[in-house]
Structure 1
Amino acid sequence: MSNTRSDALLARMMQFHPKIIDLTLDRVWRLLAALDHPERKLSPVIHIAGTNGKGSTQAMIRAGLEADGARVHAYTSPHLARFHERIRLAGTLISEEALAQLLDECLAANGTDSITYFEITTCAALLAFARTPSDYTLLEVGLGGRLDATNVVDQPALTVITPISLDHQQFLGETLPEIAAEKAGIIKRGVPCVVGPQEEAALEVIEARAACLGAPLLVYGQHWHVGVEGGRLIYQDENGLLDLPMPNLPGPHQVQNAGMALAALRALGHGNGAEAAVTQAHWPARMQRLRNGPLVEALPQGTLWLDGGHNPAAGNAIAATLAQMNVGRIWLICGMLNTKDVAGFMRPLQDVAQHLYAVSIPGEAATLSAQQTADAARSAGIDASESPDVLTALQAIAAKDPGAHVLICGSLYLAGHILRENG
């Protein structure tokens, strides 16, 4: 992978704070003030929080808005192969030249003050968005919501809260209501909020927060409904019924994500983009079929898939997707971080897994070792062994089962490594 000027600048930005994550808005407000408050100069903002489905929902909203003629900025994290994926300016990924210039500006404005990598790069994204004309700005929360660096816009046009489950407990709280309170921190006074399917304990927190702020809610199961009938996606709200093709993003969970996107589009007055939202969205490493590259060549008669899900809800979604695909038992290649609920992720995969090859994630200090991941798989009832790397695991699978269906899973960081190395 070639090193660019932006790579060098981003590496410098890792040095300004001893922690990767340190949730507070004080440092962000300081730098935004030094940059002349770009957060006040954005096109109407759609702010998206939640545990699972944020990226897919954002991708569907963007596809719908763009199909209806809107120019759309989008901010997402983490990136998979290149940092530039995080910043999309009016439909186009930011260029190397523009990114390097923005990072230079932010470094100069910040000086030597303490700031985390995510905070300073979020400020760079907001600066880019403020300078480029658009009709909407989509902001995906990095972690939590209340104290996330993206939570600096006083009056977004709309907020969206996707399904909330247990994840990042070391930062957000040990219980579902505690985590929901952090996610609900993006709700703003008087601003409509689309709420995806939630457990009752999370929904109660969201509803209480919205009531305090007079924020109208559009809640799944109350104000809008989505499901599948006759192989078609059926969405209904007070404005009527939509009969649409199934989402092009695979998996039954994408029906719910599509519902949130459709509710958002209708709330924004862009219902004309509904079909494009479900048929034209693209989001890598979400049950993505890999079709070329050296890893695919190692399994010439089989199929190879990639997914970055890494928590119990993602494990359930992957298991449901594989069951829907009707491919029988699947071979897994899995690498995970030591900050995740590994057993919780793997438990739902017990009934769909033929065998799991465990790997460590290259270049990640927080990776579990292959042995630790294999041990966790076995404790979850999955037959498992260790492999030094993904290619070796694929070669072993191909030797045993030439027509195998294989899924690489467990971490967005592993997914990013695969996308970079596999071309």
Structure 2
Amino acid sequence: MEHKDYVTIHPGTLVTRSILNNLGSPDCSLKIIHIAGTNGKGSTAEYFTQILIAAGKRVGTFTSPAVYDFYDQFRIDGKPLEAELAEKYFERAFKASEGLNATDFEIQTAGILSAFKEEGCEYAVIECGMGGLGDATNAINKKALAVITSISLEHTEYLGKTIEEICAQKAGIITGGCPVIVNSLQPHKEAVNYFKNMGCRFADVKIAEGYGAMDSVSGYNAATAIEGARLLGLPDEAIRAGIKNTKLYGRVEQFKVDDRTYILDGAHNPAAFEPLKSRLQSFSGDGLTIIFGCLKDKDLDGILSELSEIRAEEIIAVPCPSPRSRTAEEVQKECLKHFKEVITAQSVSKALDAANTKTAVVCGSFTLLKEAKQWIEKKQ
């Protein structure tokens, strides 16, 4: 199958549910951990995955978007499915969607759940694509655990204009009386009040310290997974090993090439830039280049307000490899409202070639990271 960038969106779960029914309802055979939120979903999913592996459970993981390779989104026991195997299940789901006018994401959701069942998974860790209530992944009939991560304004044309409206969408994954755990790192008090009023349990970040997860933001995500794993009755030794074994890709991920440092981060909304800002404080005296691109549906001004707090010698605006991308010139124009000098490059590779400092950061969209990593690997 040809897989496209998600341009077409079908709010609602009926199409995905119909495909799943046509495939024999594979989701009903899985213990599903369903994750919704604005930031921290992928990191939290990875913590859960590693905890389950350490507990000796066979686990499937479905996250989006892809960081480095398309098939990275679809994993069993932490390893991406081989393309041929994944496509076998996507093709089955495509045939099961006949007459339903399904989107690519709906087909992938149904197909990967079928793959997890047929390949012998006991658990599935599933990240919402967008929102929660009307997301394709919410077609799942039964859940072992619902997880709410940090919430901010996002996709307001689909999810609502206020934090309360967005919370209602995220809370839509809480179905069938399943247990719930909520990340206590919430930038907006409205989100805290919303889930408190629902009687949801908040993860205590202090417990992460005892498991070696000390970083400010990742500590909150780890704490959410720790408390969620406890609700599932997983053994403490597995939780401890899982937290230790977790590696987060595309999130303040650092590479060394000779005496130069490269940092790749897929942060694409204002709140998501906090971990990157914190990490870059240690590089402020070494000279820093920021290579930045942004999709059209993101809060560019809000992101740049956060980015402007980072001391950088060079800012290079680039386009993202996506039909939803702003041009380098459009990004440059907005950047100049926050930075004195901004140049453009027509690709991440050209920007990395042009960078003149000891440290270069590529950020603003996950779509930028694949090319950046390929460039780095060629230099290593």
Q: TM-score, normalised by structure 1?
A: 0.82
SS in 1 for 2:181: strand
- Which of 58, 62, 69 is residue 49 of structure 2 equivalent to? 62
- Which of 154, 162, 165 is residue 141 of structure 2 equivalent to? 154
Q: Are the counterparts in 1 of residues 252 and 275 from structure 2 also a CA contact under 8 Å?
A: no
Q: Distance in 2 between matches of 1:373 and 1:87?
A: 32
- Which of 312, 315, 329 is residue 356 of structure 1 equivalent to? 315
Does residue 304 in structure 1 map to residue 292 in structure 2?
no
Does residue 39 in structure 1 map to residue 39 in structure 2?
no
Gaps of 5+ in 1: 1-8, 212-216, 228-232, 235-242
Deviates more, 1:175-184 or 1:148-157: 148-157
Deviation at residue 69 of structure 1 after TM alignment: 1.9
Q: Are the counterparts in 2 of residues 330 and 352 from structure 1 also a CA contact under 8 Å?
A: no
SS in 1 for 2:336: helix
Q: Distance in 2 between matches of 1:374 and 1:128?
A: 43
Structure 1 equivalent of residue 206 of structure 2: 226
Gaps of 5+ in 2: none
Does residue 280 in structure 1 map to residue 280 in structure 2?
no
Deviation at residue 97 of structure 1 after TM alignment: 2.4
Q: Distance in 1 between matches of 2:113 and 2:222?
A: 26
Structure 1 equivalent of residue 361 of structure 2: 407
Deviation at residue 45 of structure 1 after TM alignment: 1.0
| Amino acid paired to 2:324 | A
For residues 15-54 of structure 1, the aligned pairs below 5 Å read 19-42=7-30, 44-54=31-41
| Percent identity for Structure 1 against Structure 2 | 29
Structure 2 equivalent of residue 419 of structure 1: 373
SS in 2 for 1:345: helix
| Amino acid paired to 2:255 | L
Q: Distance in 2 between matches of 1:421 and 1:114?
A: 38
Does residue 10 in structure 1 map to residue 2 in structure 2?
yes
For residues 51-90 of structure 1, the aligned pairs below 5 Å read 51-90=38-77
Q: Distance in 2 between matches of 1:287 and 1:27?
A: 36
| Amino acid paired to 2:363 | C
Deviates more, 1:272-281 or 1:340-349: 272-281
Does residue 256 in structure 1 map to residue 239 in structure 2?
no
Structure 1 equivalent of residue 231 of structure 2: 267
Deviation at residue 128 of structure 1 after TM alignment: 0.5
Structure 1 equivalent of residue 281 of structure 2: 323
Q: Distance in 1 between matches of 2:54 and 2:7?
A: 40
Deviation at residue 107 of structure 1 after TM alignment: 2.0
Structure 1's consecutive aligned runs of 4 or more residues displaced over 4 angstroms after TM superposition are: 324-329, 420-423
Query: How many aligned positions are there?
Result: 373
Deviation at residue 195 of structure 1 after TM alignment: 0.5
Deviation at residue 112 of structure 1 after TM alignment: 4.6
For residues 371-410 of structure 1, the aligned pairs below 5 Å read 371-381=329-339, 383-398=341-356, 401=357, 404-410=358-364
SS in 2 for 1:36: coil
- Which of 181, 196, 202 is residue 191 of structure 2 equivalent to? 202
Deviates more, 1:157-166 or 1:133-142: 133-142
User: What RMSD in Å do the two structures reach over aligned CA positions?
Assistant: 2.2
Q: Are the counterparts in 1 of residues 349 and 375 from structure 2 also a CA contact under 8 Å?
A: no
Q: TM-score, normalised by structure 2?
A: 0.91
